[in-house]
Amino acid sequence: MDFDLDEAQQDLRGLAADVLTREATPERLKAFEKGGGSYDAGIWRALARAGLLGAVLPEDAGGAGLGPIELAVLLREVGARVAPVPVYASLALAALPIGRHGTPAQRALLAPLAEGEIVLTAAYREVGPAGAVAATARPDGHGYVLDGVKTFVPYAREASRILIPARVEGADVGVFVVEPSEVSITPQPSATAEPLSRLALGGARVGRDALLGAADSAAWKTLRRSAVAGAVALSSGVVAGALDLTREYVNSREQFERVLAQFQAVTMQIGDVYIAKRALDVAVWAGVWRLAEGADDVDEVLAIAAYNACDPAVRALYTCQHLHGGIGLDVTYPLHRYFAWAKHCGHLLGGAEDRLDTLGALVAQEA
């Protein structure tokens, strides 16, 4: 398998890296955290001006029509700089399902997204295993009545629309495009500055035109897979950024008149971080390639990537903190952002044991 990006994907990566390096500076991130905003609007607009928000949107929505691999390229650069922008929520959770399954009216939401004018999101998680759907949608007259609770929904209050999966009575899982004002939104704690919310559907009524595609689980399958693929790509970038920061530190910090990198124990530990990073990278690129190709084993490979993001990647961030000594715990030093983001991605994915349970169930189905 060739994991090298093609020329267009390398150009996309270079553009994203240039924009985010220029915009998401440590000083800018520090000022953002003190300001208490939900996301950095300046960075968001810069991504839009560079055409990066439209990269994976359909061409009829003003996008470039690229796919999961390019989305992973973009999210990986966002993670490497821990840039506080709703790229994952808007593109991975919402735009890909809308672009593939939406009606013309629903797809019209993507044009202002490409311009950075709005934010979109989706309610991927519920209480219980990641990817489980207990929320219900009951047909009623000219629409549906939604009931249930969603958790860990990013940017719910900021979004123009929220995609909400629910089990449709007499059918399968459907995804509904809902205005935030239609549901009850309660803030939830987050490991990062990113706002998370609990959504209580509470009998919300939506029209039949709110259904994304059909109630046949197709839109839900797209949302579920892009949610996992996007989160593991984000985590891959976070680990890469933390490794770069730690490598720079151990190559410059001296103890006993020697730089830390000259100590064998330090070399072995940073080697472990590199191995965790590479293992996650391989699983991420394999997963998004299979997703782009529509391969039969895509869920299994994404589950492997998700496990690596939930466990080895988080342990690698602990090692990065250890190698930094006391400064690794200082919230005025950049490493704390990477650690928080790694934990955050693990929470969104459901945790290591949940991912192993999912992988085991998938393997059992093939036996």
Helix residue ranges, H only, 3-145 = 7-23, 26-35, 41-49, 68-80, 87, 96-101, 104-107, 110-114
Residue 291 CA to residue 47 CA, distance in Å, equals: 25
Two structure tokens written together for 19: 């924009």
What is residue 208's predicted lDDT score, i.e. its pLDDT? 96
What is residue 3's predicted lDDT score, i.e. its pLDDT? 67
Q: What is the mean pLDDT of each run of 10 residues along the chain (367 residues)?
A: 83 97 95 92 97 94 92 98 98 97 95 96 95 95 96 97 97 97 95 94 96 96 98 98 94 81 88 96 96 95 97 95 83 90 94 93 85
Two structure tokens written together for 71: 């989305």
What is residue 367's predicted lDDT score, i.e. its pLDDT? 67
* β-strand pairing of 143-147 with 136-140: antiparallel
What is residue 332's predicted lDDT score, i.e. its pLDDT? 81
What is residue 365's predicted lDDT score, i.e. its pLDDT? 87
3-state secondary structure of 321: helix
What is residue 177's predicted lDDT score, i.e. its pLDDT? 98
Is residue 161 within 8 Å of residue 151, measured between CB atoms?
no
Beta-bridged to residue 223, according to DSSP, are: none
Is residue 73 within 8 Å of residue 16, measured between CB atoms?
yes
* Structural domains for the chain: 7-119 (1.10.540.10), 122-212 (2.40.110.10), 224-366 (1.20.140.10)
Q: Give me the sheet containing 196-200, strands edge to edge.
A: 149-154, 196-200, 184-188
Under 8 Å CB-to-CB from 135, ≥6 apart: which residues? Answer: 126, 146, 147, 148, 149, 150, 164, 165, 166, 167, 201
